[in-house]
Structure 1
Amino acid sequence: MTRSARLKCYAATGVVAAIAAWCYGLGVGWIAAAALLAPALPAFLRGLLRGVATPSPREHPAADKAEMSGTDFEDHVARIARTCGVPVIMTPLSGDWGVDLIVGTRPHRLAIQCKRQGRPVGAGAVQEVVAGAPMQDCTRTMVVTNHGFTPAARRLAELHGCVLVGGDDLPRLASTIRGLTVGDQRI
Structure 2
Amino acid sequence: MASIARNLRPAVSRLAFTARARTSTWRPSPFGLRAFSATRAAFEKKYTKDHEWVELSDDKKTATIGISEYAAHALGDVVYVELPELELTVSAGDAIGAVESVKSASDINSPISCTITAINSLLEEKPSTINGGPEDTSSAGGWVAKAEVAEVGAQDLAGLMDAERYKAFTEEQ
TM over 0.5: no
Structure with the greater relative contact order (CA < 8 A, sep ≥ 6): 1 or 2? 2
Q: TM-score, normalised by structure 2?
A: 0.30
Greater per-residue strand proportion: 2
